Amino acid sequence: MKFTHKLAVTAYLYHHGKFLFLYRNTDPKVWAPPGGHLQVNEPPDTGVSREIKEETGLDVKYLFPVSTWFGEWRGNKILSIDYLAEPYDGEVALSEEHSDYRWVSAEQLKQGHPIELAPVLDLKVSDFEYAEQVFHMLQNNQHIFTNS
């Protein structure tokens, strides 16, 4: 059987009004949210929780899918499911894959300081603004999806 693409997961960890970004040790050496490829037969929500734990040492309270991305990465077609997650309080413990981390607000992302979103990853400020809106809706028990 030939597969058309690989599946990946990304975590928008949101805590105290900021998102977590990790600085990658391998090319491309850029700031990115935690995430990675799924293991064989691994459900996406389990995979994103595993990636978060492996890359940051953090456990999360909940996961909520907020977007998808389809494109090419290192010569492979990739479908990524992007999850909003809130970590329990704790200290970030980086894996060997990363050398630094920053908690950054959506407003700071707009300003490009203290980090800039790397075009190679196709992340957009609007992705994080939307995830922040979803977070507040979930906190206020509001309906996210409406029938028009």
**Distances in Å between the alpha carbon of 56 and those of 49, 111, 138, 141?**
10, 25, 24, 28
pLDDT of 139 > 90? The answer is no
Of residues 27 and 21, more confidence is placed in 21
Domains and CATH numbers, the chain: 6-139 (3.90.79.10)
User: What whole-number percentage of the chain has pLDDT above 90?
Assistant: 74
Q: What DSSP line would sit under 37-83, residue for residue? A: EPPTT--HHHHHHHHHHHHH---EEEEEEEEEEEEEETTEEEEEEEE
36-61 average pLDDT score = 95
pTM above 0.85, yes or no: yes
Of residues 122 and 55, more confidence is placed in 55
Q: What is the pLDDT of residue 148?
A: 39
Q: What is the pLDDT of residue 147?
A: 45
The SS3 of residue 138 is: helix
- What's the chain's average pLDDT? 91
CA-angle at 63, arms to 6 and 16, nearest 5°: 120
Of residues 121 and 67, more confidence is placed in 67
Q: What is the pLDDT of residue 144?
A: 57
Q: What is the pLDDT of residue 83?
A: 97
